[in-house]
Amino acid sequence: MPTTYAESSVDLPKAQDVKEATSGGVVPILFMCDFPPSNLRGGSVLMSRLLEEFPSNRLVVLTGSYYEAVSPKEGRLSCKQVVFPTSSQTGRWGFGRIKSSFDWLAIPLLMLYGFAILKRNRLSVIVTIAHGHFFVAAGLLSRITGTPLVLIVHDDWVAGLQRDSFVLKHFSDTILRFVARQAAHVYAVTPYMGERLSARYGVASEVQMPAIETAVDNAVPARRMNTHECLRIIYAGTLTGATDDSFKLLLDLVKGDKLLGFGITSWELLLFVLATPEQAIAAGWQHERIKVKGWVSQEELRASLTTADILFLPFSFRDDERFATEQAFPSKTADYLKSGRPILILAPPYSSLVRYAREFGFAEIVAQPDADKLAQSIARIWNSDEYRQELTANSRATLNANHDINKQRQEFKALLNELTHESVEVALSSPA
Protein backbone atom coordinates (compact mmCIF):
# COMPACT_ATOMS: atom_id res chain seq x y z
CA MET A 1 0.00 0.00 0.00
CA PRO A 2 1.24 3.56 -0.62
CA THR A 3 2.35 5.29 2.56
CA THR A 4 -0.15 7.82 3.78
CA TYR A 5 0.40 11.54 3.58
CA ALA A 6 0.35 11.75 7.38
CA GLU A 7 3.59 9.86 7.89
CA SER A 8 6.62 12.05 8.58
CA SER A 9 4.44 15.19 8.45
CA VAL A 10 5.81 18.32 10.13
CA ASP A 11 2.95 20.72 9.38
CA LEU A 12 -0.40 19.02 9.59
CA PRO A 13 -3.46 21.06 8.55
CA LYS A 14 -5.74 22.32 11.26
CA ALA A 15 -8.92 20.31 11.64
CA GLN A 16 -11.10 23.41 11.29
CA ASP A 17 -9.38 24.37 8.04
CA VAL A 18 -10.00 20.91 6.57
CA LYS A 19 -13.63 20.88 7.68
CA GLU A 20 -14.17 24.23 5.98
CA ALA A 21 -12.46 22.89 2.84
CA THR A 22 -14.95 20.05 2.51
CA SER A 23 -18.03 22.00 3.52
CA GLY A 24 -18.90 22.90 -0.08
CA GLY A 25 -18.95 19.25 -1.18
CA VAL A 26 -15.91 19.55 -3.47
CA VAL A 27 -12.39 19.42 -2.07
CA PRO A 28 -10.14 22.31 -3.20
CA ILE A 29 -7.04 20.99 -4.96
CA LEU A 30 -3.70 22.11 -6.36
CA PHE A 31 -2.88 20.56 -9.75
CA MET A 32 0.92 20.82 -9.87
CA CYS A 33 2.47 19.72 -13.16
CA ASP A 34 4.87 21.19 -15.71
CA PHE A 35 2.10 21.13 -18.34
CA PRO A 36 -1.43 22.52 -17.87
CA PRO A 37 -4.64 20.65 -18.78
CA SER A 38 -5.28 21.52 -22.44
CA ASN A 39 -5.49 19.98 -25.92
CA LEU A 40 -1.73 19.67 -26.33
CA ARG A 41 -0.97 15.96 -26.00
CA GLY A 42 -2.28 12.82 -24.35
CA GLY A 43 -1.68 13.60 -20.69
CA SER A 44 -2.87 17.19 -20.92
CA VAL A 45 -6.04 16.09 -22.74
CA LEU A 46 -6.78 13.41 -20.13
CA MET A 47 -6.39 15.89 -17.25
CA SER A 48 -8.51 18.46 -19.07
CA ARG A 49 -11.31 15.90 -19.32
CA LEU A 50 -10.97 14.71 -15.72
CA LEU A 51 -11.04 18.23 -14.24
CA GLU A 52 -13.37 19.84 -16.81
CA GLU A 53 -16.38 19.99 -14.48
CA PHE A 54 -14.39 20.79 -11.34
CA PRO A 55 -15.62 24.07 -9.77
CA SER A 56 -13.26 26.85 -10.80
CA ASN A 57 -13.07 28.24 -7.27
CA ARG A 58 -11.91 24.85 -5.92
CA LEU A 59 -8.96 24.38 -8.27
CA VAL A 60 -5.58 26.07 -8.76
CA VAL A 61 -3.20 25.01 -11.55
CA LEU A 62 0.54 25.49 -10.98
CA THR A 63 2.38 24.87 -14.22
CA GLY A 64 5.63 25.63 -16.07
CA SER A 65 6.13 28.65 -18.32
CA TYR A 66 7.38 26.61 -21.31
CA TYR A 67 4.33 24.36 -21.62
CA GLU A 68 2.04 27.20 -20.63
CA ALA A 69 3.28 29.09 -23.70
CA VAL A 70 3.01 26.22 -26.19
CA SER A 71 -0.26 24.68 -24.97
CA PRO A 72 -3.40 25.63 -26.93
CA LYS A 73 -6.23 27.52 -25.28
CA GLU A 74 -8.66 24.71 -26.04
CA GLY A 75 -9.06 22.47 -23.04
CA ARG A 76 -7.76 25.07 -20.59
CA LEU A 77 -9.69 25.16 -17.35
CA SER A 78 -11.46 28.30 -16.15
CA CYS A 79 -9.67 28.49 -12.82
CA LYS A 80 -6.72 30.27 -11.26
CA GLN A 81 -3.56 29.31 -13.20
CA VAL A 82 -0.13 30.16 -11.79
CA VAL A 83 3.09 29.91 -13.81
CA PHE A 84 6.59 29.02 -12.61
CA PRO A 85 9.62 29.67 -14.88
CA THR A 86 10.81 26.63 -16.85
CA SER A 87 12.92 26.06 -19.95
CA SER A 88 12.41 24.02 -23.11
CA GLN A 89 15.33 21.80 -22.01
CA THR A 90 16.52 21.79 -25.62
CA GLY A 91 19.48 23.36 -27.36
CA ARG A 92 22.65 22.57 -29.30
CA TRP A 93 26.16 21.94 -27.92
CA GLY A 94 24.91 20.84 -24.53
CA PHE A 95 22.75 23.89 -23.80
CA GLY A 96 19.69 21.65 -23.46
CA ARG A 97 21.34 19.73 -20.61
CA ILE A 98 22.37 22.97 -18.94
CA LYS A 99 18.79 24.26 -19.13
CA SER A 100 17.52 20.98 -17.71
CA SER A 101 20.00 21.21 -14.84
CA PHE A 102 18.74 24.67 -13.90
CA ASP A 103 15.16 23.38 -13.91
CA TRP A 104 16.08 20.58 -11.52
CA LEU A 105 18.12 22.90 -9.29
CA ALA A 106 15.06 25.15 -9.03
CA ILE A 107 12.97 22.41 -7.37
CA PRO A 108 13.39 23.92 -3.86
CA LEU A 109 12.12 27.27 -5.15
CA LEU A 110 9.24 25.54 -6.94
CA MET A 111 8.37 23.72 -3.73
CA LEU A 112 8.34 26.98 -1.73
CA TYR A 113 6.24 28.63 -4.44
CA GLY A 114 3.79 25.74 -4.25
CA PHE A 115 3.76 26.01 -0.45
CA ALA A 116 2.71 29.67 -0.66
CA ILE A 117 -0.06 28.87 -3.16
CA LEU A 118 -1.25 25.93 -1.09
CA LYS A 119 -1.56 27.97 2.10
CA ARG A 120 -2.84 31.20 0.53
CA ASN A 121 -5.68 29.38 -1.23
CA ARG A 122 -6.28 26.88 1.63
CA LEU A 123 -6.06 23.90 -0.70
CA SER A 124 -6.52 20.42 0.72
CA VAL A 125 -5.05 17.96 -1.83
CA ILE A 126 -2.15 18.05 -4.31
CA VAL A 127 -2.60 16.28 -7.66
CA THR A 128 0.41 15.68 -9.91
CA ILE A 129 1.61 13.59 -12.87
CA ALA A 130 4.91 11.68 -13.04
CA HIS A 131 6.36 13.89 -15.75
CA GLY A 132 9.25 16.33 -15.86
CA HIS A 133 10.35 17.58 -12.42
CA PHE A 134 7.22 19.23 -11.01
CA PHE A 135 5.98 15.98 -9.49
CA VAL A 136 9.18 15.74 -7.42
CA ALA A 137 8.49 19.17 -5.93
CA ALA A 138 4.90 18.07 -5.33
CA GLY A 139 6.12 15.02 -3.43
CA LEU A 140 8.40 17.14 -1.25
CA LEU A 141 5.61 19.64 -0.65
CA SER A 142 3.28 16.86 0.43
CA ARG A 143 5.93 15.48 2.75
CA ILE A 144 6.57 18.82 4.44
CA THR A 145 3.00 20.04 4.79
CA GLY A 146 1.19 16.76 5.35
CA THR A 147 -1.12 17.55 2.43
CA PRO A 148 -2.48 14.39 0.73
CA LEU A 149 -0.83 13.73 -2.64
CA VAL A 150 -2.49 12.02 -5.62
CA LEU A 151 0.05 10.77 -8.17
CA ILE A 152 -0.97 9.87 -11.74
CA VAL A 153 1.41 7.66 -13.75
CA HIS A 154 0.81 7.81 -17.51
CA ASP A 155 4.27 6.86 -18.78
CA ASP A 156 7.42 5.12 -17.58
CA TRP A 157 9.16 8.24 -16.26
CA VAL A 158 12.15 6.31 -14.95
CA ALA A 159 13.01 4.66 -18.26
CA GLY A 160 12.70 7.99 -20.07
CA LEU A 161 15.05 9.71 -17.62
CA GLN A 162 17.53 6.84 -17.75
CA ARG A 163 17.64 7.25 -21.51
CA ASP A 164 17.94 11.06 -21.53
CA SER A 165 20.06 12.01 -18.49
CA PHE A 166 23.69 11.14 -17.75
CA VAL A 167 23.45 12.05 -14.07
CA LEU A 168 19.84 11.78 -12.92
CA LYS A 169 19.40 8.32 -14.41
CA HIS A 170 21.35 6.96 -11.43
CA PHE A 171 18.74 8.38 -9.03
CA SER A 172 15.60 7.91 -11.12
CA ASP A 173 14.34 4.78 -9.33
CA THR A 174 14.90 6.38 -5.94
CA ILE A 175 13.09 9.57 -6.98
CA LEU A 176 9.99 7.85 -8.32
CA ARG A 177 9.89 5.41 -5.39
CA PHE A 178 9.98 8.34 -2.93
CA VAL A 179 7.16 10.26 -4.61
CA ALA A 180 5.01 7.17 -5.24
CA ARG A 181 5.33 5.96 -1.65
CA GLN A 182 4.67 9.47 -0.38
CA ALA A 183 1.41 9.59 -2.33
CA ALA A 184 -1.83 8.89 -0.52
CA HIS A 185 -3.20 7.45 -3.77
CA VAL A 186 -1.64 6.42 -7.08
CA TYR A 187 -3.41 6.07 -10.43
CA ALA A 188 -1.88 3.95 -13.21
CA VAL A 189 -2.89 4.36 -16.84
CA THR A 190 -3.08 0.58 -17.46
CA PRO A 191 -3.18 -2.61 -15.40
CA TYR A 192 0.29 -3.32 -16.79
CA MET A 193 1.65 -0.02 -15.46
CA GLY A 194 0.10 -0.92 -12.12
CA GLU A 195 1.87 -4.28 -12.18
CA ARG A 196 5.20 -2.53 -12.76
CA LEU A 197 4.64 -0.06 -9.93
CA SER A 198 3.86 -2.93 -7.59
CA ALA A 199 6.72 -5.20 -8.65
CA ARG A 200 9.45 -2.58 -8.93
CA TYR A 201 8.50 -0.05 -6.25
CA GLY A 202 6.14 -1.87 -3.92
CA VAL A 203 3.41 0.67 -4.65
CA ALA A 204 -0.28 -0.17 -4.95
CA SER A 205 -2.26 1.73 -7.57
CA GLU A 206 -5.70 2.07 -9.08
CA VAL A 207 -6.17 1.77 -12.84
CA GLN A 208 -7.53 4.90 -14.52
CA MET A 209 -7.43 4.42 -18.30
CA PRO A 210 -7.89 7.17 -20.91
CA ALA A 211 -11.54 8.19 -20.83
CA ILE A 212 -14.14 10.23 -22.69
CA GLU A 213 -17.85 11.01 -22.66
CA THR A 214 -19.40 7.70 -23.68
CA ALA A 215 -22.68 9.07 -25.08
CA VAL A 216 -22.75 8.72 -28.88
CA ASP A 217 -23.44 11.89 -30.86
CA ASN A 218 -26.17 10.79 -33.27
CA ALA A 219 -25.92 14.12 -35.08
CA VAL A 220 -22.62 12.95 -36.59
CA PRO A 221 -23.39 10.22 -39.16
CA ALA A 222 -20.94 7.36 -39.46
CA ARG A 223 -19.26 6.73 -42.82
CA ARG A 224 -21.25 4.35 -45.02
CA MET A 225 -19.07 1.51 -46.26
CA ASN A 226 -18.85 0.85 -49.97
CA THR A 227 -16.02 -1.26 -51.33
CA HIS A 228 -16.07 0.73 -54.58
CA GLU A 229 -15.23 3.93 -52.72
CA CYS A 230 -11.86 5.13 -51.46
CA LEU A 231 -10.75 3.34 -48.28
CA ARG A 232 -9.96 5.93 -45.62
CA ILE A 233 -7.45 5.22 -42.86
CA ILE A 234 -7.06 7.78 -40.06
CA TYR A 235 -4.28 8.20 -37.55
CA ALA A 236 -4.63 10.71 -34.70
CA GLY A 237 -2.02 11.22 -32.03
CA THR A 238 1.57 12.17 -31.35
CA LEU A 239 4.39 10.52 -33.25
CA THR A 240 7.31 9.58 -30.98
CA GLY A 241 9.97 6.92 -30.79
CA ALA A 242 7.30 4.63 -29.36
CA THR A 243 5.34 4.71 -32.63
CA ASP A 244 7.59 5.80 -35.51
CA ASP A 245 8.70 2.44 -36.96
CA SER A 246 5.17 1.00 -37.06
CA PHE A 247 3.82 4.25 -38.45
CA LYS A 248 6.47 4.19 -41.20
CA LEU A 249 5.37 0.67 -42.16
CA LEU A 250 1.83 1.96 -42.74
CA LEU A 251 3.18 5.02 -44.53
CA ASP A 252 5.16 2.90 -46.99
CA LEU A 253 2.13 0.65 -47.54
CA VAL A 254 -0.08 3.64 -48.33
CA LYS A 255 2.47 5.07 -50.76
CA GLY A 256 2.97 1.77 -52.56
CA ASP A 257 0.62 -0.49 -54.54
CA LYS A 258 0.57 -3.60 -52.37
CA LEU A 259 -3.09 -3.12 -51.41
CA LEU A 260 -4.09 -3.58 -55.05
CA GLY A 261 -3.21 -7.23 -54.69
CA PHE A 262 -5.80 -7.54 -51.92
CA GLY A 263 -8.70 -6.23 -53.96
CA ILE A 264 -8.52 -2.62 -52.77
CA THR A 265 -8.50 -0.15 -55.66
CA SER A 266 -8.32 3.22 -53.91
CA TRP A 267 -7.15 4.38 -50.46
CA GLU A 268 -6.00 7.41 -48.49
CA LEU A 269 -4.42 8.21 -45.13
CA LEU A 270 -5.56 11.18 -43.03
CA LEU A 271 -3.15 12.40 -40.35
CA PHE A 272 -4.30 14.37 -37.31
CA VAL A 273 -0.82 14.90 -35.95
CA LEU A 274 0.96 17.73 -34.16
CA ALA A 275 3.54 18.75 -36.78
CA THR A 276 4.64 21.85 -38.65
CA PRO A 277 4.50 21.92 -42.47
CA GLU A 278 8.30 21.66 -42.50
CA GLN A 279 8.19 18.59 -40.27
CA ALA A 280 5.54 17.01 -42.51
CA ILE A 281 7.74 17.52 -45.57
CA ALA A 282 10.80 16.14 -43.77
CA ALA A 283 8.78 13.08 -42.69
CA GLY A 284 7.84 12.29 -46.29
CA TRP A 285 4.13 12.99 -45.93
CA GLN A 286 3.84 14.81 -49.24
CA HIS A 287 1.96 12.25 -51.30
CA GLU A 288 -1.29 12.17 -53.22
CA ARG A 289 -2.72 9.53 -50.89
CA ILE A 290 -1.75 11.34 -47.67
CA LYS A 291 -3.67 14.30 -46.23
CA VAL A 292 -2.13 16.12 -43.30
CA LYS A 293 -4.89 17.67 -41.19
CA GLY A 294 -2.70 18.80 -38.29
CA TRP A 295 -3.69 18.97 -34.64
CA VAL A 296 -7.38 19.90 -34.43
CA SER A 297 -9.93 20.62 -31.72
CA GLN A 298 -11.47 17.74 -29.82
CA GLU A 299 -14.85 18.44 -31.39
CA GLU A 300 -13.45 18.40 -34.94
CA LEU A 301 -11.48 15.25 -34.21
CA ARG A 302 -14.56 13.38 -32.94
CA ALA A 303 -16.46 14.27 -36.10
CA SER A 304 -13.54 13.29 -38.33
CA LEU A 305 -12.98 9.90 -36.70
CA THR A 306 -16.52 8.81 -37.64
CA THR A 307 -15.62 9.25 -41.33
CA ALA A 308 -12.88 6.62 -41.15
CA ASP A 309 -13.03 3.09 -42.49
CA ILE A 310 -10.05 2.12 -40.32
CA LEU A 311 -8.50 3.84 -37.28
CA PHE A 312 -4.80 3.06 -36.92
CA LEU A 313 -3.02 2.53 -33.57
CA PRO A 314 0.74 1.82 -33.74
CA PHE A 315 3.35 0.93 -31.13
CA SER A 316 7.05 0.37 -31.75
CA PHE A 317 8.66 -3.04 -32.19
CA ARG A 318 12.10 -1.74 -31.18
CA ASP A 319 13.64 -3.11 -27.99
CA ASP A 320 14.78 0.35 -26.90
CA GLU A 321 11.13 1.48 -26.79
CA ARG A 322 9.85 -1.53 -24.90
CA PHE A 323 9.75 0.51 -21.67
CA ALA A 324 7.01 2.64 -23.25
CA THR A 325 5.07 0.07 -25.22
CA GLU A 326 4.68 -2.42 -22.36
CA GLN A 327 2.96 -0.16 -19.82
CA ALA A 328 1.89 3.14 -21.42
CA PHE A 329 -1.29 3.60 -23.42
CA PRO A 330 -2.29 5.96 -26.27
CA SER A 331 -4.83 8.49 -24.99
CA LYS A 332 -6.60 8.53 -28.36
CA THR A 333 -7.74 4.95 -27.83
CA ALA A 334 -10.78 6.23 -25.94
CA ASP A 335 -11.64 8.55 -28.84
CA TYR A 336 -11.24 5.67 -31.27
CA LEU A 337 -13.54 3.42 -29.24
CA LYS A 338 -16.22 6.10 -29.07
CA SER A 339 -16.21 6.65 -32.84
CA GLY A 340 -17.55 3.15 -33.47
CA ARG A 341 -15.17 2.68 -36.41
CA PRO A 342 -12.95 -0.43 -36.89
CA ILE A 343 -9.58 -0.20 -35.13
CA LEU A 344 -6.35 -1.69 -36.49
CA ILE A 345 -3.41 -2.18 -34.11
CA LEU A 346 0.17 -2.68 -35.32
CA ALA A 347 2.25 -3.43 -32.23
CA PRO A 348 4.34 -6.16 -30.59
CA PRO A 349 2.54 -8.92 -28.68
CA TYR A 350 3.95 -7.77 -25.32
CA SER A 351 2.61 -4.21 -25.74
CA SER A 352 -0.22 -2.86 -23.61
CA LEU A 353 -2.26 -2.24 -26.75
CA VAL A 354 -2.15 -5.82 -28.01
CA ARG A 355 -2.73 -7.39 -24.59
CA TYR A 356 -5.68 -5.09 -23.93
CA ALA A 357 -7.20 -5.54 -27.40
CA ARG A 358 -6.91 -9.32 -27.19
CA GLU A 359 -8.69 -9.30 -23.84
CA PHE A 360 -11.64 -7.22 -25.10
CA GLY A 361 -11.63 -8.04 -28.82
CA PHE A 362 -12.18 -4.49 -30.10
CA ALA A 363 -9.46 -4.39 -32.78
CA GLU A 364 -7.80 -6.25 -35.62
CA ILE A 365 -4.23 -6.97 -34.48
CA VAL A 366 -0.99 -7.24 -36.45
CA ALA A 367 1.63 -8.34 -33.91
CA GLN A 368 4.68 -8.37 -36.17
CA PRO A 369 6.26 -5.73 -38.46
CA ASP A 370 5.18 -7.37 -41.72
CA ALA A 371 3.79 -5.31 -44.61
CA ASP A 372 1.96 -8.29 -46.12
CA LYS A 373 0.20 -9.10 -42.85
CA LEU A 374 -0.70 -5.44 -42.41
CA ALA A 375 -2.23 -5.38 -45.90
CA GLN A 376 -4.15 -8.60 -45.18
CA SER A 377 -5.61 -7.11 -42.01
CA ILE A 378 -6.67 -3.94 -43.80
CA ALA A 379 -8.38 -6.07 -46.48
CA ARG A 380 -10.10 -8.22 -43.86
CA ILE A 381 -11.72 -5.16 -42.31
CA TRP A 382 -12.57 -3.58 -45.65
CA ASN A 383 -14.15 -6.70 -47.16
CA SER A 384 -16.23 -7.99 -44.24
CA ASP A 385 -19.29 -6.12 -43.03
CA GLU A 386 -19.87 -8.78 -40.36
CA TYR A 387 -16.36 -8.35 -38.96
CA ARG A 388 -16.70 -4.57 -38.86
CA GLN A 389 -19.94 -4.90 -36.90
CA GLU A 390 -18.24 -7.28 -34.46
CA LEU A 391 -15.40 -4.84 -33.85
CA THR A 392 -17.85 -1.96 -33.40
CA ALA A 393 -19.92 -3.88 -30.84
CA ASN A 394 -16.82 -4.84 -28.87
CA SER A 395 -15.56 -1.25 -28.99
CA ARG A 396 -18.81 0.01 -27.51
CA ALA A 397 -18.71 -2.58 -24.71
CA THR A 398 -15.07 -1.78 -23.92
CA LEU A 399 -15.75 1.97 -23.91
CA ASN A 400 -18.63 1.68 -21.46
CA ALA A 401 -16.76 -0.73 -19.20
CA ASN A 402 -13.40 1.01 -18.89
CA HIS A 403 -13.35 4.49 -20.43
CA ASP A 404 -16.27 6.45 -18.97
CA ILE A 405 -15.03 9.91 -17.95
CA ASN A 406 -18.16 10.65 -15.89
CA LYS A 407 -17.52 7.59 -13.77
CA GLN A 408 -13.89 8.61 -13.33
CA ARG A 409 -14.89 12.13 -12.26
CA GLN A 410 -17.28 10.81 -9.63
CA GLU A 411 -14.73 8.36 -8.27
CA PHE A 412 -12.02 11.04 -8.27
CA LYS A 413 -14.15 13.46 -6.24
CA ALA A 414 -15.06 10.66 -3.82
CA LEU A 415 -11.35 9.89 -3.39
CA LEU A 416 -10.56 13.54 -2.64
CA ASN A 417 -13.26 13.64 0.02
CA GLU A 418 -11.99 10.41 1.55
CA LEU A 419 -8.41 11.69 1.71
CA THR A 420 -9.49 14.98 3.23
CA HIS A 421 -11.63 13.34 5.90
CA GLU A 422 -8.65 11.18 6.81
CA SER A 423 -6.68 14.42 7.13
CA VAL A 424 -9.30 15.70 9.57
CA GLU A 425 -8.92 12.61 11.71
CA VAL A 426 -5.12 12.98 11.75
CA ALA A 427 -5.40 16.67 12.64
CA LEU A 428 -7.85 15.99 15.46
CA SER A 429 -5.69 13.24 16.93
CA SER A 430 -2.47 15.25 16.80
CA PRO A 431 -1.34 17.43 19.79
CA ALA A 432 -2.49 21.04 19.69
Cα torsion angle, 396, 397, 403, 408, sign: positive
Model pTM?
Answer: 0.88
Q: Render 222-287 in DSSP notation, one character per residue.
A: PPPP-TTS-EEEEEEE---TTTHHHHHHHHHHHHSSGGGGGT---EEEEEEE---HHHHHHTT--S
DSSP bridge pairs for 312: 344
Strand, helix or coil for residue 386: helix
Best CA proximity match to 208, nearest among 226, 185, 181: 185
The predicted pLDDT at position 282 comes to 84
Roughly how many angstroms between the first and final C-alpha of the chain, as a whole number?
29
The predicted pLDDT at position 217 comes to 62
109 C-beta neighbours (distance < 10 Å), count? 12
Architecture of domain 231-402: 3-Layer(aba) Sandwich (3.40)
Ranges in the chain annotated CATH 3.40.50.2000: 15-211+404-429, 231-402
The predicted pLDDT at position 16 comes to 46
Radius of gyration of the chain (CA): 23
The predicted pLDDT at position 4 comes to 29
d(CA 353, CA 324): 11
pLDDT in tens, the chain (432 residues): 333 223 333 343 444 444 444 445 789 999 999 999 999 999 999 999 999 999 999 999 999 999 999 999 999 999 999 999 999 888 777 777 888 899 999 999 999 999 999 999 999 999 999 999 999 999 999 999 999 999 999 998 998 888 777 778 889 999 999 999 999 999 999 999 999 999 999 999 999 999 999 987 654 455 555 545 899 999 998 888 899 999 999 999 999 999 999 999 999 999 999 888 888 888 889 999 999 999 999 999 999 999 999 999 999 999 999 988 999 999 999 999 999 999 999 999 999 999 999 999 999 999 999 999 999 999 999 999 999 999 999 999 999 999 999 999 999 999 999 998 775 555 445 554
φ, ψ dihedrals at 384, nearest 5° = -125, 105
The predicted pLDDT at position 45 comes to 96
d(CA 175, CA 108): 15
φ, ψ dihedrals at 296, nearest 5° = -115, 175
Architecture of domain 15-211+404-429: 3-Layer(aba) Sandwich (3.40)
